[in-house]
Amino acid sequence: MRIDPDSTANLLHFALHRLKKLPHEILERPASERAYIFASIALVVKKEAKEVKGVAKN
């Protein structure tokens, strides 16, 4: 799976602020580990977006 540079930057920004991991700590990981980390971040963001929508409706 290829991720465009803007998406990678957003994922690394999330990792920096929420996971307290510097970008090089993520980028130095093997591709399979990076894919797992990025997929996990995407799940968290999707879950939080759903929660925000639920709060906005109430």
User: Which residue in this structure is represented by tokens 């993520």?
Assistant: 26
| Domain hosting residue 41, numbered range | 5-57
- Please give the C-alpha separations between residue 41 and each of 3, 20, 57, in angstroms, as whole numbers: 13, 13, 25
pLDDT value of position 55: 84
3-class secondary structure, 38: helix
The whole-angstrom separation of Cα 32 and Cα 57 is 38
pTM: 0.80
Distant-in-sequence, close-in-space partners of 16: CB < 8 Å, separation ≥ 6: 22, 23
pLDDT digits (tens, 9 = 90+) for 4-36: 778 889 999 999 999 999 999 999 999 999 999
pLDDT value of position 54: 85
Domains contained in the chain, number: 1
Residue 1: pLDDT over 60: no
User: Which residue in this structure is represented by tokens 């700590």?
Assistant: 25
